[in-house]
A and B are shown apart, each in its own frame.
Chain A
Amino acid sequence: MKQHNLHGSVLAVLFLAFFVMPEYHDGVFARIMVLAVYAVGYNLLFGYTGLLSLGHALFFATGMYGLALPMQHLDMGPVPAFLTGLAAAAMMSLAVGFLALRTTGVAFMIVTLMFAQAGFLTILYFGEYTRGDEGFVIQQADRMIAGLDFSDPTTRYFAAFCIFAAAFLFIAWLMRTSFGKCLVAIRENEDRARMLGYDVQLHKLLSITLSGVISGASGAAYAFLFGYAGATFASVQYSILPLLWVLLGGAGTTIGPLIGTAFAFYLVDFSSEITDAHLLVVGAAIVLLTLFAPQGLAGELRRRLFAWLP
């Protein structure tokens, strides 16, 4: 019951925040919510299943280009293009998962990193279509569904809100099913889960695929709502960022990804007023977190104050 109240009130606050916050923060929060979906997807694999991937930018970018390329070159409408993005991310994560899950631990991290690097370089290699680092803009005229203009800040905020709410509630639901509980069991003790008769490999593969689809949804939504797709989103940095957000917010908690993304965004926003080298703050935050708060903000809250926190 407490969990339902918590999730309900988080969404209510996000919904009402639009009417209270100044315009600038509405724009920031639209971005935070879309990227928090990415963190939610990452959290499913890292926080709940215990698999640390260093290549999630591949799934994010697959969703992004899965939407943007057909819209740009095939004149596809936004809705079918969004579904194309999801399907592409699903296939990509299934293929990567199938190969990468043959390894564990450090090797898994390096294999995912290398696949993502190969994906990033492939985007650069086909610069004729993807326009490489420079990227391309999706025209405002194309960003309409049923007469709604998604480049308008209000529409954009609520579109971001809807997609975040969907991912957020989906994970909250999933983690109460027996499938979700099995993922946590794998994280806690893989051998014991296997001994109890669970198909560990299959559960991991499903987890990485679901995680890839959610990350891809975030990428596709980002391209659509902010009208831009570029190779930067496939770079190593975008594989590291969801790790940072989830670590910051609290791995394996439902609200962690949102807290972490928002916190990191405002941390960078605040530090860029002081210095250009905002990545310094990102790096320092990662080091300090691994040293002093490996549980993240929500994890520390759970440990110290609210043991019931999902």
Chain B
Amino acid sequence: MDFGPHLFLACLEGAITAAVISLTAVGLSLVFGIMRVVNVAHGEFFMLGAIVAWWTATSLAGHPAFGFSAALVTAPLVVGLIAIIINRLILVRLNYDPERTIVATIGLLYVIQQTALMTFGPDARPVEPPFNTRIAIPWIGFGDSGFELIWPWGLATTTYKLAVIAAAILIVATVWLVISRTRFGLIMRATQQDGEMATSFGIPVRRVYAIVFAFGAALAALGAVLIVPVQQAHYLMGGDPLLLSFIVVIIGGLGSLPGTIIAAVIIGMSDGIISVFFSPTLAKILATLLVALVLVFRPQGLLGRRRA
């Protein structure tokens, strides 16, 4: 394959990473922005989403599309419920203290991961995609008779992968609409700006926190359901999305939603492209150093505004 088609394929893979990461990162960013809680166990919510999706899809007989659609409902619900329980049992008791919640969610990370290992097992398990037609992509080449359409070997994608990208865009747009246009979004923004003032206006801040935490976890789970037909469910799969979401949230500016989405696209695409053309390890070294240096020298993020 020539460089052009190869790059295009890398961009397409990058776009899928970007789609999934934008869902997990928006969840992480909402939780941090509104509750000031850095949830280190966020990647495990992603992993739980994938496992619930596998479990739903295998326990329902019939066409794969049926099991998959059921998983789209059960995974966010189950994971959201788990998040509400965690919020009640742990975060509320710690009074949402930023440093102590980080330590507690580190503990949670191990608890969830190892529980998954003991129940789900160490194997990677696939979920069948609801539809999966291969599409060959044409490329404009320069032949004997001038420019012409060619069909390079290997330059192809599947309808499912394109649907993942479309679904992610749809979900993120919905989240944005909910936050900027609805009454609940207004309450969320009020809580984010000044929790005490919101309380004195009669907003049940504690309940908002519980809903936001569940909502963030559900978004991660939804991202996992989308990716699990492409990438199998595994008990260690939470690590990479966690790291990437952290990078995205920090570069985009902690708690800034548009920044997070733009950063997700940039980081997802460059992760895809660098991993195809260079070593994935090198890509991660550069990305982690970039995050550290952004936090040191530009703590409001590349796109964020400095808080008063």
Contacts and interface: CB of A to CB of B under 8 A. Distances in A.
B126 interface: no
A106 B93 contact: no
A110 B293 CA distance: 11
A118 B292 contact: yes
A121 B106 contact: no
Contacts of A105: 98-99
Given A121-B281, A121-B284, A106 B106 contact: no
A167 B100 CA distance: 28
A291 B107 CA distance: 11
Interface stretch (B112-120, B130-138, B184-192): B112-120
A280 B118 contact: yes
B250 interface: yes
Given A102-B296, A110-B246, A280 B98 contact: no
Nearest to B93: A291
Specify the main secondary structure of chain B where it touches its partner.
helix
B165 interface: no
- What range describes how many residues of A lie at the interface? 35 or more
A106 B99 contact: yes
Given A114-B289, A280-B118, A107 B295 contact: yes
A107 B288 contact: no
A291 B289 CA distance: 33
B221 to A, nearest CB: 20
Contacts of B103: 52, 243, 247, 286, 290
A106 B117 CA distance: 30
Range for the number of chain B residues in contact with chain A = 35 or more
B116 to A, nearest CB: 9
B108 A125 contact: no
Interface string A118-129: 100110110000
B104 A286 contact: yes
Interface string B286-308: 00110111011101000000000
Contacts of B112: 283
A250 B277 CA distance: 48
A137 interface: no
Contacts of B108: 283, 287
14 contacts: A52-B102, A100-B292, A102-B297, A103-B296, A105-B98, A107-B295, A111-B295, A114-B295, A118-B285, A118-B289, A124-B281, A125-B279, A277-B117, A283-B106
Interface of A: 52, 54, 99-100, 102-103, 105-107, 109-111, 114-115, 117-118, 121-122, 124-125, 240, 243, 247, 275-277, 279-280, 282-287, 290-291, 294
Given A111-B295, A280-B111, 12 more contacts: A52-B103, A99-B296, A109-B38, A110-B38, A111-B292, A114-B292, A117-B284, A124-B281, A277-B114, A283-B111, A287-B111, A291-B104
The 9 closest A-B pairs by CB, nearest first: A283-B110, A286-B107, A280-B114, A287-B107, A277-B114, A283-B111, A114-B292, A118-B288, A290-B104
Interface of B: 38, 90, 93-94, 98-100, 102-104, 106-115, 117-118, 243, 246, 250, 279, 281-282, 284-285, 288-289, 291-293, 295-297, 299
